[in-house]
Copies of this chain bind each other. A is one copy, B any other.
């Protein structure tokens, strides 16, 4: 059960998730009390081959609130790798000499796995192209557990672009590990949840329905997980795009249909798929969800670094 690398959402079984969420809960207290110095002089490298300021900030704040240190780049492509032809593997081997843990953001699917194959220090996948972004899925799950109280028996509606969103795909996968979860997939035909996930849910015996509109679903769901519909997916069928966007806007009217104990989640950034007027409602959980990212990442760093000595010598 010792964590070595964080590469993909699927690697987390129920026991590891449960342990992770325990530590995450402890991190909330730690931060409220002003942080700890457990990782004084431990160094985290944020190695971002493409900018993702929010994800980087969340990891860097997490490491620093643990008392640790950060070295950081958002243009690792100007690093030797691309500029002079160095392989990702060599870059990782060199970083092993400087850092105790490496947070990797890369544009190529599978990059995190390749990095982990040669790294003596833990790799955390902070997104590898169309591949995985496991810490987002973990913070989503933690948010549900914290806000709703339990995951078993959950009724969740996922709304918007279910075809390409890494977030909803990983979340659906992780939720399938729990008991009695029911999922409502609300998406236009072009953006419906893909068959690999649906088949996986059928195999696990997870109940799900596909719905073209939100209205019937809102009174049922404990969680309404809203996503951004991306214009670029529609090519020049702009009318279709505008129509999809129009259907899936959460407003005060939507709040009236929702259960009093339900919550709205969103991976952010949001455009107008959630009206500003919704923000003031206590069920608007999306900014709390982003803040949970800090605690989950603190917990992951703790699980990865605890009991290790560094930097690992060649």
A residues neighboring B (CB under 8 Å): 31-32, 34-37, 40-43, 45, 51, 53-54, 56-58, 60-61, 64-65, 67, 69-71, 73-76, 78-81, 84-86, 90, 93-99, 228, 268-271, 287-288, 290-291, 293-294, 309-311, 313-314
A237 to chain B, nearest CB (A): 20
Which of chain B's residues has its CB closest to A67's CB?
B41
B37 A54 Cβ-Cβ under 8 A: no
B57 A71 Cβ-Cβ under 8 A: yes
Known contacts A31-B310, A40-B67, A80-B269; 7 additional CB pairs below 8 A are A32-B313, A57-B73, A58-B98, A97-B288, A97-B290, A288-B314, A291-B314
A141 to chain B, nearest CB (A): 17
Please give, as numbers and ranges, the residues of chain B lying within 8 Å of A35 by CB-CB distance: 40-42
- Distance in angstroms between the alpha carbons of A35 and B67 in the assembled complex: 13
A291 B97 Cβ-Cβ under 8 A: yes
Please give, as numbers and ranges, the residues of chain B lying within 8 Å of A37 by CB-CB distance: 40-41
A269 interface neighbour in B67, B84, B314, Cβ under 8 Å: B84
Q: Which of A32, A57, A74, A270 has the most CB of B within 10 A?
A: A57
A28 to chain B, nearest CB (A): 8
- Distance in angstroms between the alpha carbons of A58 and B36 in the assembled complex: 26
A33 to chain B, nearest CB (A): 8
- Distance in angstroms between the alpha carbons of A96 and B54 in the assembled complex: 12
Please give, as numbers and ranges, the residues of chain B lying within 8 Å of A65 by CB-CB distance: 41, 43, 69
- Distance in angstroms between the alpha carbons of A43 and B34 in the assembled complex: 10
- Distance in angstroms between the alpha carbons of A35 and B53 in the assembled complex: 29
A219 to chain B, nearest CB (A): 26
A-B contact pairs, 25 of them (CB 8 A): A34-B40, A34-B309, A34-B310, A35-B42, A36-B41, A41-B67, A43-B64, A43-B65, A45-B57, A45-B61, A51-B78, A53-B75, A57-B71, A58-B98, A64-B70, A80-B268, A80-B269, A84-B269, A84-B271, A86-B268, A90-B268, A90-B270, A94-B268, A94-B290, A291-B311
